[in-house]
């Protein structure tokens, strides 16, 4: 990815900065560029070493950086091998930083700034990196690679809004805004209108279309999202970008054969792209062939260690195989790559929950919830954790939050709306019962009953009815109790229990009003 984005940067540079190479350095620059193009980075760097013109100087440092990256990749171990970790580092970084600092002190150059940002980011110096990158894009906004790096720094919606103030008012900035919001699952009217506006300018842009589809995906509007991806695929069959997200959508929609088709298309285009491997891995996962799917995710990671979705999906597969420790490591690596993936956080939480380390789990659920504040799933998981940790008050709060999340999502999505609702309601009611607040409990149980006309009789409603019947019976409100028990019996749910209760209440009624 780095290589590609850098070469686009260079071509842009070629177009605009022709005069930026002095005549005596022209030959050297050409030679170095040729070496660079055939991936002989060290050689390229040596050729233009000491050049002063900005183009050659950039190439010198950039080639050095790439050489370091290459060596780093070569030194790192097999994916998830015993020695695999983030220990290996690009050893050229300190030298490059030093040189850059001296050069930037003399003269500010947009590409050197970009490189400075990249290097700083690699050294986890995010604040300075942010400044450098902002300066770089302000000077020359058409370097998308710089925007890409900038994107990794913005870790929350607040970051984005702050950044928008620092950034220049430019067309590309809007693109950046769309991307950043999308990655943060931050969907609102403003982002939508931005996408619409941009689409008016670039009606054929597949990138914009896929952003729109991803936004819809975050809103759980899978059908619409699928439609858009279909269009993209038909108009540009050789495009692989974001296909892994498309495969996730199909996975969630349970469309296995369509997923197979997408995998086929991807595989026909390029077998060795991480996107392709992810799609195929998803397909095998759906066929419950988890070993194979792990193989493909691993391949994706071998191709690009920073490929986020592969790490997360690999974690999911390990969970399926009950290899919790491997799953935890995979999720952790996903988070290390990109801290914005709520699925990885959530997965970590789940894994720790399986290991009954609830406090840990809670922390990760909270992180996930922070990323998806309106996702009831996160809140429900969090509540379950509280429940297990015997903190009913917090659990009730979380469940309530989950409910509210649901109601907001219910309009667009029928997936887990009511069903989860009833379950949550019963959980809340039972928790209230536990803290001896029967009135609240009754309230929530009654709420649960209200869902009956929509859902029909189901287990949760039966539980609620049975609970209520017992409650009413204890309060000697026998008429209501009998009615509920009878309803329960007629629906054929909890037959034994309800029959016994009907008989019991009948007896009591007889005793109270002897004939």
Partner 1 sequence: MQNHAASRLPRDPTTGRYLTPGKLALLALITLYTENRIPSPSIIPVLTFVLQHLIANRGQLFAHGSPPPTVISLEALQKLTVLEQSAITGRTIYDLLLKKLWELNSYDALHDFVVNLETYLADPKKAEKTYIRSQGEKSLFTRNSVIGAFIRRATLEFSRMPFAEATQLWQGFIAYREPTLPQWKKRNLSLVHSTGGVGPVETHHDKFLAGLPADHPLVRHLYGAVDDMKHQGEKAHGMVSVDDVEKLLEFQVDCMQRLGTRVPEQMQNSLKAILDSRASKPNLQYYVEFLNAWRSGDYQGSFECLHQYFDYTMHTRDRTFYQYALLNLAILQADFGCNRESILAMQETVNTARENKDIACLNFALSWLYHFHKAHPQDCPEVIAARMERESLSFLKVKAKESGMHHLQSMAHLSEAKQALTNAESLGFAFESILRSSHLNTSKGINNAVGSQMVLQSSVWTRLGVHYAAMLGCELFLTKYWKNAPVEDLVKAQCRTAFLIAQKGRFEEALDKLENIDAENLRTLKYYQYWATYGGLIRLKRELFRGDLAAAEYNLQQLLAASSTEPECVVEVQLCRAQLHMRRSNFSEALDLLTTLAEDLERDKGDISSRLRVMLNKAQLLAKCGRAVKGLSVTLRAAAIAWRAKLLPILYLANAVLANILIQLHEFAVAYALLDAIMPQILECEDAHLNGICLNTLIDAQVGMAGKVTDDKKKMAECMGRALEMIDKCFVEYGKLGDRAAQAELMNKKARVHNILENMELRNEAAATCIQLKKGH
Q: Which residues bind partner 1 (CB under 8 A)?
A: 233-234, 236-238, 256-261, 263-265, 267-269, 271, 280, 283-284, 287, 289, 292, 296
Nearer to partner 1, 242 or 364 (CB): 242
Nearer to partner 1, 258 or 437 (CB): 258
Smallest separation (angstroms) from partner 1 to the CB of 146: 33
Nearer to partner 1, 202 or 272 (CB): 272
Smallest separation (angstroms) from partner 1 to the CB of 269: 7
Nearer to partner 1, 79 or 485 (CB): 79
Nearer to partner 1, 102 or 234 (CB): 234
Q: How far is C-alpha 75 from the chain's CA centre?
A: 29
Smallest separation (angstroms) from partner 1 to the CB of 311: 20
Smallest separation (angstroms) from partner 1 to the CB of 404: 39
Smallest separation (angstroms) from partner 1 to the CB of 268: 6
Nearer to partner 1, 153 or 265 (CB): 265
Q: What is the 3-state secondary structure (H, E, C) of 445-488?
A: HHHHHHCHHHHCCCHHHHHHHHHHHHHHHHCCCHHHHHHHHHHH
Nearer to partner 1, 60 or 280 (CB): 280
Q: Which of 80, 73, 76, 72 is nearest to 299 (CA)?
A: 80
Nearer to partner 1, 228 or 327 (CB): 228
Smallest separation (angstroms) from partner 1 to the CB of 239: 11
Asked if 250 and 234 touch (Cβ cutoff 8 Å), the reply is no
What the block records as the tokens of 241 is 């970008």
Smallest separation (angstroms) from partner 1 to the CB of 244: 14
Residues whose CB falls within 8 Å of the CB of residue 134, separated by 6 or more in sequence, listed in order:
150, 163, 166, 167
Asked if 65 and 96 touch (Cβ cutoff 8 Å), the reply is yes
Nearer to partner 1, 132 or 232 (CB): 232
Helices (H), 167-289: 171-183, 189-201, 206-218, 222-235, 243-252, 256-269, 274-286
Nearer to partner 1, 100 or 233 (CB): 233
Nearer to partner 1, 260 or 491 (CB): 260
Smallest separation (angstroms) from partner 1 to the CB of 331: 25
Asked if 331 and 347 touch (Cβ cutoff 8 Å), the reply is yes
Smallest separation (angstroms) from partner 1 to the CB of 288: 10
Strand, helix or coil at 508? helix
Smallest separation (angstroms) from partner 1 to the CB of 264: 5
Asked if 305 and 274 touch (Cβ cutoff 8 Å), the reply is no
Smallest separation (angstroms) from partner 1 to the CB of 247: 13
Q: How far apart are CA 471 and CA 448, in angstroms?
A: 15
Q: How far apart are CA 502 and CA 98, in angstroms?
A: 84
Asked if 242 and 250 touch (Cβ cutoff 8 Å), the reply is no
Q: Which residue has the tokens 């039966």?
A: 462
Smallest separation (angstroms) from partner 1 to the CB of 279: 9
Residues whose CB falls within 8 Å of the CB of residue 406, separated by 6 or more in sequence, listed in order:
376, 416, 417, 420, 421, 424
- The CA-CA-CA angle for residues 43, 146, 330, to 5°, reads 85
Sign of the dihedral defined by the CA atoms of residues 284, 285, 287, 288, in that order:
positive
Residues in the chain: 515
Nearer to partner 1, 21 or 277 (CB): 277
How many CB atoms sit inside 10 A of residue 358's CB? 20
Asked if 240 and 274 touch (Cβ cutoff 8 Å), the reply is no
Nearer to partner 1, 27 or 270 (CB): 270
Strand, helix or coil at 457? coil
Q: How far apart are CA 506 and CA 515, in angstroms?
A: 13
Q: Which residue has the tokens 């022209």?
A: 26
What the block records as the tokens of 328 is 């935890």
Print burial letters for 155-167: b (CB count within 10 Å at least 16), e (below 16). bebeebeebeeeb
Smallest separation (angstroms) from partner 1 to the CB of 201: 25
CA dihedral 283, 288, 289, 290 (to 10 degrees): 90
């Amino acid at each position: 990815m780095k290589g590609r984005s850098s070469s686009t940067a260079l071509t842009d540079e070629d177009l605009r900065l022709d005069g930026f190479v002095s005549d005596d350095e022209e030959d050297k620059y050409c030679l170095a560029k040729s070496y660079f193009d055939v991936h002989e980075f060290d050689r390229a760097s040596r050729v233009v070493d000491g050049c002063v013109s900005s183009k050659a100087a950039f190439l010198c440092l950039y080639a050095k950086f790439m050489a370091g990256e290459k060596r780093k990749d070569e030194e790192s171990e097999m994916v998830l091998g015993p020695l695999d970790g983030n220990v290996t580092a690009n050893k050229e970084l300190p030298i490059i930083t030093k040189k850059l600092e001296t050069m930037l002190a003399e003269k500010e150059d947009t590409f050197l700034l970009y490189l400075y940002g990249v290097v700083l980011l690699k050294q986890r110096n995010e604040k300075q990196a942010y400044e450098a990158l902002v300066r770089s894009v302000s000077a020359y906004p058409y370097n998308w690679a710089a925007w890409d790096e900038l994107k990794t720094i913005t870790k929350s919606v607040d970051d984005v809004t702050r950044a928008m103030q620092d950034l220049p008012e430019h067309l590309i900035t809007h693109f950046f805004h769309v991307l950043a919001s999308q990655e943060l699952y931050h969907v609102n009217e403003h982002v939508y209108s931005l996408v619409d506006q941009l689409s008016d300018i670039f009606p054929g842009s597949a990138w914009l279309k896929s952003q729109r589809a991803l936004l819809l995906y975050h809103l759980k509007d899978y059908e619409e999202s699928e439609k858009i991806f279909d269009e993209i695929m038909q108009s540009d069959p050789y495009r692989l970008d974001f296909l892994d997200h498309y495969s996730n959508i199909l996975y969630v929609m349970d469309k296995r054969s369509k997923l197979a088709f997408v995998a086929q298309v991807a595989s026909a285009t390029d077998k060795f792209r991480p996107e392709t491997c992810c799609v195929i891995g998803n397909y095998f996962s759906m066929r419950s062939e988890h070993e194979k799917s792990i193989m493909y995710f691993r391949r994706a990671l071998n191709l690009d260690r920073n490929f986020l979705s592969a790490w997360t999906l690999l974690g999911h597969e390990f969970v399926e195989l009950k290899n919790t420790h491997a799953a935890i490591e995979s999720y952790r690596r996903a988070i290390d790559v990109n801290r914005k993936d709520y699925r990885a956080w959530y997965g970590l939480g789940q894994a720790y929950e399986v290991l009954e380390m609830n406090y840990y789990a809670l922390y990760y659920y909270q992180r996930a919830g922070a990323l998806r504040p309106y996702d009831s799933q996160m809140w429900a998981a969090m509540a379950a954790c509280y429940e297990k940790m015997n903190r009913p008050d917090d659990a009730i709060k979380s469940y309530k939050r989950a409910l509210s999340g649901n109601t907001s999502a219910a309009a667009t999505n029928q997936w887990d709306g009511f069903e989860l609702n009833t379950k949550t309601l019963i959980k809340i009611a039972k928790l209230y019962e536990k803290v001896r607040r029967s009135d609240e409990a009754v309230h929530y149980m009654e709420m649960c009953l209200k869902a009956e006309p929509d859902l029909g009789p189901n287990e949760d409603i039966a539980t609620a009815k049975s609970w209520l019947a017992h409650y009413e019976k204890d309060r000697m409100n026998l008429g209501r109790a009998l009615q509920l028990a009878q309803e329960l019996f007629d629906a054929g749910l909890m037959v034994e229990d309800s029959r016994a209760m009907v008989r019991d209440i009948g007896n009591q009624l007889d005793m109270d009003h002897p004939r």
